Structure 1
Amino acid sequence: MTSLSPSTHTGFEPLQRAFATYLKKTKLHPGLTLDCSERAGRLLLLAEHKAPEADAPRALLKDLESAFRELVPTVGLPDADWAAVDALAVRVYLKLKSVAQPYAMHTFTWHPQDAVQAIFPATAAPPAIDTAVEVEADDLEIDAAAGGRPDDLGAFELADVGAVDPNVSAAEANARTDSSGIRFSDAALALPDAAVQPPAGPGWGQRSRSWARHGLRSLRDYWSYGLAGLILVGSGAFAYALSRPCVVGSCDRLAEATEYYELAQATLIGNPTGDDLATAQADLQTAIDMLTPIPTWSTYYDTAQSDLARYEGNIVFLNAIVRAQALANEAANLSQSPPHPVERWVKVHLLWQQAIDRLSTVSVDSPAFDYSQQKLREYRANYSAIGRRIVAEEEAEANFNTAIQTGELARQRMETANSLAGWQLAAKEWQAAINGLSLIPQGTVVYDEAQAQIKDYQGQLNRASSRSTLEEAGAQNYHQAVQAARSAAAAEAKGQWTLAVTQWRQAVASARQIPADTILAAEGGVLLETYQPALANAQNRLRTAVALQTLTTNLAQLCEFSATPCTVREDASQIRVVLSSQYAEPLRQAITPPAADGTFAFTNQLNSNSQKLIEQIITASHQVDRQVAVYDAQGGFVARYRPDLGGFIRN
């Protein structure tokens, strides 16, 4: 690519001098100089300075734009044609003096009315233009042979100038300007018929003859043109061949196309904006459009084709970048306001992939290669981010569906639970469902719904956990009651009535602690029906055992020094007491006659030990609520005490 060079156009010297003064005064950047040039209808400002590059090139370019807008109204532009355009494209380049290529560029549009507004503010009235401007004699073409004089014409208004030649059309007259650059208005051409009549006065006839001779020459010219036209019509193919671009004479299209190409290449250097890309694309397309019509029979065809191939190759890469940016913008727009369903993220993912594919085609020889690589890194990062989004959405959706299924299973468990294990399993499934919903990250489509489900499931988990706790307590008390009853029965078998009573009491207490609204509540009631009588029986047996133990101890003490021991034995229906002869015989002799109810008493002739023995027998009988029969050592019956009668009997 041809590097930019300073302009040698002397018409820009006032603007360049104004810029030099401005830069020296403002010290915008050390050693900064500026040259102006014009290419393909664009104004180029090349700002150069020594290394290093500016820290903030964008800000410096904007300052130069502001300076341009400030200076142009005061110094103007070189050619009048610039004032006729509606808008002027201006490009500012920043370049190091030791480097061929610029390192930054800025494009803006300048409107001529900006200068008008700067000179004539909107609050001031525009200067009046006199439509009756006189035409100087030097501006008229007068045939000297006709003897005409400038003073013969006198001064007349612009409207009369438009009416002198009736062959001039309204459009031509409207486009014609005088030497001062002022256009003839359409109003000046709208003349009455009398305006075309020749004015009276001397000299008019001579001028008429001069114009007549001029008319004859024009007729001869028109005849020549007509003959040439007939020849061309007769040989249409030859005329078409000659009318194609770059067939006859030089080929300015090559140079103009090259200028457009160089402008496009310079625009793509550095970090171009979207507008810069569009501008470069338009410049390249203009260069291509200028060379495409050059026919094969042109001597410039090979050169044009060579340039055209280079231009088309560059615009292919540029089109790829522009298309990639369009795809990236579409992807970015679709990504706005997340969350989105997986299908949308997949579409965005595909758009980023397509943009990456476009950028990957840009050749290393393209001036936009560095820019494409920068965008390629950005797009790949976005592509990866969207890929993670897709994975997150898919995982969130999978976790959500699994959690919902687990929740439904937990609900069924609760409805059919008939054991502690069933309630425990239901609580575990509710917890598993909550854990699955908790894995769903914020920013996914199902996040809000998952949070609502978590609240519902937490309530169900609390209910299942509470019921599971009750059932666990009921089951524990049930098992404790059963275990205590087994221990009580074992103690009874060993005659350990104290331990038996303790275990039966534990069994009854545990059975009573089974919650009423649990599954084992009914079985707990059955246990109570069994364990309470068993406790009462054990308590009776304990009392009997205590009484017999007391009686046995006392008898042992009484019979300690007797020839035969005294014994106590428990039978099925009574307690048998066997006394030694020294106690049995005195009791038999001391028995009184029976009373009406069949009972009898002992006389007061008994000694104190015998009397004490009788009292202990009576106490033991009442304690165990059983009869106590007294026998002698030979097995002979002495007497029987019945607690229900409250006395002794002889049978």
Structure 2
Amino acid sequence: MIAIRRPIKGGNRPSQWVNPDEVTPAQLSTVHGQVRTMPSSAAPSTPQRSIPSRRGPVPPRPTGMTRMGATPHSESGFDRPSLTLALVTLSAGVLALLGASWALTRPCVLGSCERLQRVEEMSGETLQELTESPSTDALSEAQQQLEAARRQLDGIPPWSRHHRRSRRLLDRLEGRSQQLQAARSPLGLAYQAALLSQNPPHSIEEWQEMERLWLDAIAELETIDPENPAYPLARAKLSEYRDNLAAVQQRAILERRGQEQVEAAQLAAEVARTQEGQARDLETWQETYASWRNAVGALMRVPPQTTAQRDARQLFQSYGPQLMSSEQRHRQEQAAQTLHQQGLRLADEARVAQDAQQWDTAIAKWQQAIAYMQQIPENTAYSDQRRPLIQGYTNALVQAIAQQQISEAMNRAQADLQRLCNGAPQICEYEVRRDRLQVKLLPEYVSRVQELDRQANRQNNEAAQQQLNQHVRRLIDGLELVSLNTGIRLTVLDPDGEEVARFAGN
């Protein structure tokens, strides 16, 4: 750092020190302007030395100044013009030195240029990232980074030895920026098309305008050179835009198809109204129903998210009830016939199951047959036939239920008797029939009970006698309960086949 002492004009004020880094270009320019206005005859002089000249030696000037800028004494021999010339010369030198110092402090003037290297690395990394990870955000980021790099290069002054290299890099960055801008143009067209596609449905004309924008965007993407850093992004967007173009074209087709379906529905409705006024029987109601069904079917085929769908919804509010009414009239006779046939079929299946003593199946079939017959509509050809059939099927159902109860009672009796007769030794054997139950005590069991009874009497063991009596009582109570639960008469026989007990059931 160089510090220069400059004189302060006026009075005996002390000199000030000037830092070259604090001198601005504007101040330097002002001072140079002042220097250019000085007389051309002025030249610096050095006190106390004689300067050789072609005209001979020049005597030394008196040393009468006590400090720079002070007024000389009258006896010193200095005149005011010489002093002014010396001050101007010194000021010009100071300012020249300050200008040189400022110029040397500009970026990339002395030594290596880290800014230039940093810009090269930053721009290269940015473009590489755009190439490796292409995206719209990466493209915008790359443009911003290139613009920042260009501003950095503009700060390198022309007198820098790196200026030529910086200009070459700046030209390359300018070319890259133009390439990136070329990639942004189709993105803008795509953005316009995307905005138009918001809040569908749209008319056919609007879909055609979107189609034009997508075609223009695709055409511009196809012109992007492979050397463009945005080329991978352009390739990706090209596929995406083609898909969007196909989607827009498909939507335009759907819009036209929707209008055609609405017109077809209106024509079918006119035919249906004419037929409905003349319908009297099953055949004419079938024709009327078919026409209304065609009208509603055309409305249902209108593609969703189209302007035609709104028209279809309004027409459906009228056509829907008409279709339901004609369908009901048409299907009444058809339903009556179908229900009658189903009821007859189920009744036949119920009889087969009943003959096979499959009571659960028989009951279910009878119930279904009755349900079908009950569903036959009034005022049809089969409405008069259903009443006697329902009565007969109900009687058969009651009988099947009774038979099922008997079968369940026999099954319960079988299980209960098996539980009562099991023991060590075996207590009894049994036989289960629909009209009676028979239990026969086994000889070994009877002998064992008699022996235990005699032992208890001999030993006068009242506890043993009481326990034996309780066992016999439980057996008798259990057999009686079986008879009561099943409602079937039960007979108990001794080992010789003689009846020893009888329970009447219900």
Both proteins in one fold, TM over 0.5: no
TM-score (norm 2): 0.38
Pick 1 or 2: higher relative contact order, CA cutoff 8 A, min separation 6. 2
Report the TM-score when normalising by structure 1.
0.31
Answer 1 or 2: which has greater helix percent.
2
Specify the structure having the higher radius of gyration (Cα): 1
